Amino acid sequence: MYHLKILSSISAGVLALSFSTVAFAEAALDSFIKRLDVVSSMETHFEQVTLDQSGEVLQSLSGTLTVARPGKMRWQTEPPYEQLVVSDGELVWVYDMDLEQVTIRQLEAKLQDTPALLLSGNTSEIAANYQVTQPEVTSGKGIDRYVLKPMDRSQLFEALEFDYKGDKLAFMRIFDAAGQITEIRFTGLLLNPELDDQAFYFIVPEGVDVIDGRHGR
């Protein structure tokens, strides 16, 4: 009987912990979605650093990011690593200037491969594709951190971190499957500015190679 009481207590404790974990996960998901839902558009400068497993810098670049919901994005990096990623809500164009190459894909086929698209995407898809937690941040004051892990383990990244300071996104980290970490710091961020829709349309330049990955192409 004594052993049965111990087992009963352990089971009750595990059950309570499970319910608590689920509740925290739901609260983190709701909190993150609310932060995205209040943003109809965003414009910011960014600085990006990619580190290897030992913390050595592999690449540093900077550029601008413009997003508008639903699904519109313009991510442009500055020389010497020039690249332009544009989404109009249906298609995604990736233009590599050095390679003189443009890749075209359907938006839904690239959503989880391009983490920045989460900022302009359909928030209802986050619950279906990601596990969201909100760990306590001890290294900085006033920072709210959200960790997203894709449920599909075949994705190119293992986790994403979004750091908010107040109502603005301040930092983003991408942990890829190879053990590399990409850190993106956002500065001069504008929330809900009026944007020209032409920023989210792309005309393929003459003379460049086109890789068309759209359905049925």
Q: Where do the domains of the chain lie, and which CATH numbers do they carry?
A: 39-212 (2.50.20.10)
pLDDT band at 128 (very low <50, low <70, confident <90, very high): confident
pLDDT band at 10 (very low <50, low <70, confident <90, very high): very low
Under 8 Å CB-to-CB from 83, ≥6 apart: which residues? 75, 76, 77, 94, 95, 96, 97
* Contact (CB, 8 A) for 136 and 147: no
pLDDT tens-digit series, residues 41-78: 999 999 999 999 888 999 999 999 999 988 899 999 99
* Contact (CB, 8 A) for 159 and 149: yes
Identity of the amino acid at 179:
G
- Quick one: pLDDT at residue 12? 43
74 bridge partner residues: 66, 86
85 bridge partner residues: 75, 94
- The Cα 66–Cα 210 span in angstroms is 24
Per DSSP, the residues of the chain read -HHHHHHHHHHHHHHHHHHHHHHHHHHHHHHHHHHHHT-SEEEEEEEEEEE-TTS-EEEEEEEEEEEETTTEEEEEEPTTS-EEEEEESSEEEEEETTTTEEEEEEGGGTTTTSGGGGGTS-THHHHHHEEEE-----SSTTEEEEEEEESSTTSSEEEEEEEEETTEEEEEEEEETTS-EEEEEEEEEEES----GGGG---PPTT-EEEE-STT-
CA 193, distance to chain mean position in Å, is: 20
pLDDT tens-digit series, residues 19-51: 344 555 688 888 998 888 888 999 999 999 999
Which tokens hold the place of 156? 């190119």
